[in-house]
Structure 1
Amino acid sequence: MSREVAHEAPGEHVPTPGVPEPRPTERIGLAVVGAGYWGPNLVRNAQQTAGLRLHWLCDLDEERSRRVLGEYSTVRSTTSFEEVLADERVGAVAIATPAAAHYKLVHAALEAGKHVLVEKPITTTVEDAADLVRIADERGLVLMCDHTFCYTPVVRRIRELVHGGEIGDVQFFDSVRINLGLVQPDVDVLWDLAPHDLSILDFVLPPGVEPVGVSAQGADPIGAGRACVAYLTVRLSNGALAHCHVNWLSPTKVRTTLIGGSRRTLVWDDLNPQARLAVHDRGVDLTPPDELTDAIRHRALISYRVGEMVAPALVEQEALRNVMTEFAAAITERRAPLTDGRSGLRVLRLLHAASRSLELGGATVPVGADTDLELITTATERAAAR
């Protein structure tokens, strides 16, 4: 990988005899591709991430790039992606372009030996996503998806509580993401909003629990030519259900997620900065069958648990800064990032299953646990045949 090393200025440091010298700070050369809606946020956070050194902003509209860069006079703008890839200082590329361009750009960057951070969805087809995962694996490169919500303090805490067993077995996942939003010209509401909730679901589910089926219902009450309101249900391998409601037509904005467990229930209200997360020690308990007498074995004994509610203290942080920090750390430590290419592939697989379910009138579309491995293996075989 190509990195720029920032050395101390002459005269700032005098070596001490017998004391090992600290290693100079290594900063990974970065280029951002795309100066549209999300690109400026990547530029700003890259400039404020200690492990990264931004060299380029690439966009077909160079004037737009210059406006975005503004005060960042050390960062160059260009319309040539080839020029970016040819720069040996650039070890990593962050791509924030329309999804239709992701595969071509990510593929070229990986082939050039660059680590890649790419906006969601990773690509528009599962076959292309599997191919990118294959290339990254073969070349030992980091391929990371910017599933931004997974890097918020609240979702990180939710993941800790679920994976640590504090809520017990996951029984349900219910999310609502609705507002009076912009009707997109090229995608329906599922592809616009559901990737957020599906990436969160993928991130927080405990090991061994995974989606096995997807069904979706959608409606277009305003005649936009695509679903503007949709309900998505994911069946999980442990028998639980995950449900997502996404809507462009709601006059009020709602961002809530409930995750019910056998011991506790988590309630996340993202529009309540004073108490984004609440942990409720209340729910339904079922007497185990082996503790029932023969006389009442034919019916279950249900009791209701009413305990305390706790709102954990969370430090407010900009999620995208954590994304950039994780990207730099994964490259430096030569490890997979928390939201790697495979997580992007899993989310994309659920989106395609949801679209297929819409076509089938809401029928459940199965998703197998081994599908990702089969896709990557197939991509490897296709590459070998070329």
Structure 2
Amino acid sequence: MRTSLSPTFMSTGKLKRMTPLILECVDTMNDTIDNIIASSNGILSAPVDVKRVTGAYAMESTIQMTFSRKVSALDDPNNPIIENVRKIHKNSLLSLVKLSTIMLAPYVARMLRISQFDSKVTQFFSDFTLNLIDERKRVSETESAVKKVDFLQLMLDSMRDNNNQAIDGSDDYTDSKGGEKYGEIRATAGMRDKGLSHDEIIAQCVMNLISGYDSISATISICLYSIAKHPEVQQTLYEEINTFYEQKKSMADIYESLNAMNYMNAVVDETIRLYQGSKIERIPSVDYVLKGTGITIKKGHVVQIPTYAMHRDPANFADPEAFRPERFLPENKAHNPYTYLPWGAGPRSCMGMQMVKWLVKLALVSLVHRYVFHTTELCSSN
């Protein structure tokens, strides 16, 4: 599945084609904030819950990128797509028990047919996705059909073409100290006839909505919180973004221009370093001996990599508790690449990394250019 999905997630060309869809959601987010400010006659009389605004942007943009469906998470909360996405993310005692059983006793979960998600939610997305697939098949038969550019369509194209082409615009990952070089997993002879089934397409669409929403909304919110606590960082970031707006000639070069903004990239990386999840898990498919240690990791054993601790270890990052984006500027990077693992590394790294970072940066470049962010008194005292 990864060989079919990687070009969808990791191709810079495909992200560029999806950018107009995301920019529509950025405009909606800005309109929401403008309306909040206007309702206070231009002076905010009470704190604004930024997470609510960025959460709406994350939901709208992931739905747009997945299905090319324009929705308004704040103005139309009863939209069936939004309702069911929210049900996926809704936490309850029952959902916690289900998830715990699946993680701690997978054989019991399979025997009892326990699913993490409500059956009505999975049925909704199954029916919705299959109807979209049928609709696009009918439309594609007409001469005037305009092909969609979204996650679903790219998977359908992969299913049809089944060409497993190399990923355009992606680079091999190199460990600068160990010299180990990794590329994306390539298709073997036995994989080349493997297309995606409808069930796999549905599952990946739902997974895109789940993983994208949380990571995007949380990263933007915490990033804004961090620069609000550090006005000097916010000012430096604003100056870089302002230069970007002055120099940008058209939307055609926005991808290269945004990725060349070293300070904004550093702010995002530093935010993720400080606030990323606690660990990464991997399971080896064969026995593996760690070089120079004599330690053998047995096939099937779960290996936990404590990323939170690694990211805050002074042996890896000087003054690790401090928010210092400068440490990620190209001229200042001094850490071993394997001490910074928010996305994993090597051939099993997160496929959605480029997509999430692109959605985050498109939001940040607009937000910081238009508004000044301050913490509330409560946040300032913490």
User: Could you state the TM-score of these two structures normalised by the residue count of structure 1?
Assistant: 0.24
Larger radius of gyration: 1
**Structure-2-length-normalised TM-score:** 0.24
